[in-house]
């Protein structure tokens, strides 16, 4: 069995050739923005890549906080993976129904908790469908597996660390939201949040690094960050609205060879909803 050549992605050809391998699990990581009015789980049930399990980031989350899809505890994550039939030693391929939106968040989460081999399907479900490949409906059930968690806490930034970076410049804060939201010119899609950005942060809208549901070439990704004033030689914290598209920027940076990127899980949903945290506009 020929291994995938990319450290981040597999092609639809590769996945089609490897479907059914006993150590391979396909993961549907579909997530839709609040204003899309689409139901990720319902769309998974209606049609998914054969054998794929559904990773629901709103269900596999910390339900003790009033923030959407925050990381669960290691114990809760291990329990969820057992139910999905995923062990940390398996080869995992994540995709989503948008091409490249929810999959990077699931890819990041799986790696964060200790999965050894996680890749993303290039082009996601839209490419798979466009090629006329098989789909199946319903819910996939797999035998329970034991997932041995090794949680990388250093890869997640709490609000206090982001505030310190904002004040000291020890790390660059890069925001994945669209420019009008970053500048505070348009209201946030989630009610009750202030408009603007973390003081001192830089803006690389996630669509600047994605083209037709696929990650742009490393040179184009590098250009997008450098044009926004990001120094790739210095530490970076990625942020966004609720920690999803921040993972797209993190993945994009890793494709350029940048390592050690930290993600602010609470992102603007936490920051913009906390009156004690400073904001900037413009």
Complete DSSP assignment for the chain: -PPPS-SSEE-HHHHHHHTT-TTEEEEE-----GGG---HHHHHHH-BSTTPEE--TTTSS-TTSSSTTPPPPHHHHHHHHHHHT--TTSEEEEE-TTSSSSHHHHHHHHHHTT-SEEEEETTHHHHHHHTT---B-S--------------GGGEE-HHHHHHHHHH-SSEEEE-S-HHHHHT-S--SSTT---SB-TT-EE--GGGSEETTEEPPHHHHHHHHHHTT--TTS-EEEE-SSSSHHHHHHHHHHHTT----EEESSHHHHHTT-TTS--B--
Q: Please report the pLDDT score of residue 33 as a whole number.
A: 87
**Domains and their CATH numbers in the chain:** 9-151 (3.40.250.10), 154-271 (3.40.250.10)
Per-residue pLDDT of the chain (282 residues; tens, 9 = 90+): 456 668 999 999 999 999 999 999 999 999 998 888 899 999 999 999 999 999 999 999 999 999 999 999 999 999 999 999 999 999 999 999 999 999 999 999 999 999 999 999 999 999 999 999 999 999 999 999 999 999 999 999 999 999 999 999 999 999 999 999 999 999 998 899 999 999 999 999 999 999 999 999 999 999 999 999 999 999 999 999 999 999 999 999 999 999 999 999 999 999 999 999 999 999
Q: What is the pTM of this model?
A: 0.97
Closest to 279 (Cα-Cα) out of 202, 206, 188, 184: 184
274 is catalytic: no
Q: Please report the pLDDT score of residue 35 as a whole number.
A: 82
Which listed residue (240, 250, 261, 277) is catalytic?
A: 240
Q: Which residue has the tokens 């996601």?
A: 124
């Amino acid at each position: 069995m020929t291994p995938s050549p990319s450290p981040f992605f597999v092609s639809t050809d590769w996945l089609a050739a490897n479907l059914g391998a006993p150590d391979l699990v396909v993961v549907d990581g579909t997530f839709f923005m609040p204003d899309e009015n689409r139901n990720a789980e319902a769309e998974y049930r209606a049609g998914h890549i054969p054998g794929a399990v559904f990773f629901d980031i709103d269900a596999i989350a910390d339900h003790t906080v009033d923030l959407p899809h925050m990381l669960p505890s290691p114990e809760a994550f291990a329990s969820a993976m057992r139910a999905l039939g995923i062990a940390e030693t398996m080869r995992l391929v994540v995709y989503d129904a948008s091409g490249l939106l929810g999959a990077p968040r699931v890819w990041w989460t799986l790696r964060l908790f200790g999965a050894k081999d996680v890749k993303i399907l290039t082009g996601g479900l839209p490419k798979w469908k466009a090629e006329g490949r098989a789909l199946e409906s319903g819910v996939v059930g797999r035998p329970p597996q034991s997932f041995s968690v090794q949680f990388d806490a250093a890869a997640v930034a709490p609000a206090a660390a982001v505030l310190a970076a904002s004040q000291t410049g020890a790390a660059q804060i890069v925001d994945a939201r669209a420019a009008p939201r970053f500048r505070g010119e348009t209201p946030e899609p989630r009610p009750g949040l202030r408009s603007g950005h973390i003081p001192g942060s830089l803006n690389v809208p996630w669509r600047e690094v994605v083209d037709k549901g696929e990650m742009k070439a490393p040179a184009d990704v590098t250009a997008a960050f450098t044009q926004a004033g990001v120094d790739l030689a210095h530490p970076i914290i990625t942020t966004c609205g609720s920690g999803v598209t921040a993972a797209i920027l993190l993945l994009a940076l890793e494709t350029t060879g940048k390592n050690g990127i930290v993600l602010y899980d609470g992102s603007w949903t936490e920051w913009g909803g906390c009156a004690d945290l400073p904001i900037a506009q413009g």
